[in-house]
Amino acid sequence: MATTNLKRIPVALAQRGYEVVIGRGCRFHVGEELQRLGYGSGLKVLVVSNPVVFHHYGTHCMEALGAAGFMASSLLVEAGETHKTPATVARIYDACWRERLERESLIMALGGGVVGDMAGFAAATWLRGIAVVQVPTTLLAMVDAAIGGKTGVNHPGGKNLIGAFHQPRLVLVDPDTLFTLPEREFQGGMAEVIKYGVIGDVELFTKLEQAETLRSATAMEPALLIQLLCRSAAAKAAVVVADERESGCRAILNYGHTMGHALETLTGYDTYLHGEAVAMGMGAMGWIASREGYWQDIEHQRQTAVLAKAGLPLRWPPLDPDAVVACMGSDKKVRNGRVRFVVPRALGRVEIRDDISTERVGQALKALQ
């Protein structure tokens, strides 16, 4: 592939800055991309993946690294959120030890957000921090999880409670890997793309409205898919650059997530994918914003139409509103005991509010059942 076909989105974080490189077939060029960053032959690279992803893309990746003169080894961890634990990270540390990774060595995450978060956390902590490169293979990881440096694992007390900020050196996005991704996973990732449209990019939102389909990578126009990936990466990069450690505006990325996390928790993490729960949270916040007069009904309807077009669920199961509110009260994003909601004010504009009443949340859940 000609390198001119690659899109390069900068994450301009000064000495921690890097590029999100996007292009069809770019996974075959991972070695050249590392050389471009100054990594030389003999570099030790530990590729962390899971059996499904490695079956599809492991050989390409290992061969590309070998061809560039790197000493690549691999570790496969179990797939799934239930394995995103300190115990799995301990297996990655064991592999780092076995392969004698040094301060200059590198961990490469090849997979979705689960692999990326764990490999990133292992890299943040092995030898007090070594480099990580993210090669995301789900839509959700391409547009969100792989970018921005949040790494970590779950604790029995909650999701992502153990973690570190550790920016990658490179994010390499090959859209062709999405052809093997199950459609439901693709649609879950599309919820995050729609989120970027609602929170800050009305042009992106309009593209989503105009698209013939948003339901699978195979059915979508390849050029449109690349545009969606680039705009989403740019949207995430802009927020991360403005607020790397989430002391302020990065919280807008949590649009739909506060209610979505409560839904995931109350349904045991095995009923809805993360993106599906986010879509339902966005639907609920859209309903609330419309009733409170924060945005117009028509904007809520447009958001609902795009979520439905992506095949995302919109109807809430019958949950006890008090349980949902209690669950939101234990979210990481609560400040001074008040739940902070990201509320849409118009397509492309949101604000953070802590004055949404429990009654309003209950009404939304009832209306959306």
Q: Let me know if 274 is a catalytic residue.
A: yes
Q: What is the 3-state secondary structure (H, E, C) of the chain?
A: CCHHHCEEEEECCHHHCEEEEECCCHHHHHHHHHHHCCCCCCCEEEEEECHHHHHHHHHHHHHHHHHCCCEEEEEECCCCHHHCCHHHHHHHHHHHHHCCCCCCCEEEEEECHHHHHHHHHHHHHHHHCCEEEEEECCHHHHHHHCCCCEEEEEECCEEEEEEEECCCCEEEECHHHHHHCCHHHHHHHHHHHHHHHHHHCHHHHHHHHHCCCCCCCCCCCHHHHHHHHHHHHHHHHHHHHHCCCCCCHHHHHHCCHHHHHHHHHHCCCCCCCHHHHHHHHHHHHHHHHHHCCCCCHHHHHHHHHHHHHCCCCCCCCCCCHHHHHHHHHCCCCCECCECCEEEEEECCEEEEECCCCHHHHHHHHHHCC
Q: Let me know if 91 is a catalytic residue.
A: no
Q: Which of residues 17-76 bind ligand NAD (CB under 6 A)?
A: 50, 52-53, 56
Exactly one of 44, 195, 274, 302 is catalytic; which is it?
A: 274
Instruction: Name the minimum Å distance from CB 165 to ligand GLY.
Output: 10
Q: Which of residues 277-316 bind ligand NAD (CB under 6 A)?
A: none
Stretch that binds ligand GLY, among 48-56, 121-129, 143-151, 347-355 (CB under 6 A): 143-151
| Structure-block tokens of residue 18 | 């890097």
Q: Which is nearer to ligand GLY, 105 or 187 (CB)?
A: 187
135: β partners: 110
Q: Which of residues 227-246 bind ligand GLY (CB under 6 A)?
A: 246
Instruction: Name the minimum Å distance from CB 163 to ligand NAD.
Output: 8
Q: Could you tell which of ligand GLY, ligand NAD, none binds residue 113, using a CB distance below 5 to 8 A set by kind? A: ligand NAD
Q: Which is nearer to ligand NAD, 231 or 274 (CB)?
A: 274
| Structure-block tokens of residue 160 | 């992502």
Q: Could you tell which of ligand NAD, ligand GLY, none binds residue 250, using a CB distance below 5 to 8 A set by kind? A: ligand GLY
Asked if 274 is part of the footprint of ligand GLY (rule: CB under 6 A), the reply reads no
Q: Which is nearer to ligand NAD, 53 or 251 (CB)?
A: 53
Asked if 112 is part of the footprint of ligand GLY (rule: CB under 6 A), the reply reads no
Exactly one of 169, 236, 300, 309 is catalytic; which is it?
A: 236
Q: Let me know if 257 is a catalytic residue.
A: yes
Asked if 162 is part of the footprint of ligand NAD (rule: CB under 6 A), the reply reads no
Exactly one of 100, 128, 315, 336 is catalytic; which is it?
A: 128
Binding mask 146-165 for ligand GLY (x = CB under 6 A): --x-x---------------
Q: Could you tell which of ligand NAD, ligand GLY, none binds residue 117, using a CB distance below 5 to 8 A set by kind? A: ligand NAD
Number of residues in contact with ligand GLY, rule: CB under 6 A? 6
Residue 282 CA to residue 304 CA, distance in Å, equals 9
Asked if 265 is part of the footprint of ligand NAD (rule: CB under 6 A), the reply reads no
Q: Could you tell which of ligand GLY, ligand NAD, none binds residue 44, using a CB distance below 5 to 8 A set by kind? A: none
Asked if 195 is part of the footprint of ligand GLY (rule: CB under 6 A), the reply reads no
Asked if 300 is part of the footprint of ligand GLY (rule: CB under 6 A), the reply reads no
* CB contact at 8 A, 167 and 13: yes
* CB contact at 8 A, 193 and 288: no
Asked if 112 is part of the footprint of ligand NAD (rule: CB under 6 A), the reply reads yes
Asked if 166 is part of the footprint of ligand GLY (rule: CB under 6 A), the reply reads no
35, 73, 125, 160: which one binds ligand NAD (CB under 6 A)? 160
Q: Which is nearer to ligand GLY, 166 or 250 (CB)?
A: 250
Q: Is 365 left (phi over 0), alpha (psi -120 to 50) or beta?
A: alpha
Residues forming the site for ligand GLY (CB under 6 A): 144, 148, 150, 246, 250, 253
Residues with catalytic annotation?
128, 150, 192, 236, 246, 250, 254, 257, 261, 274
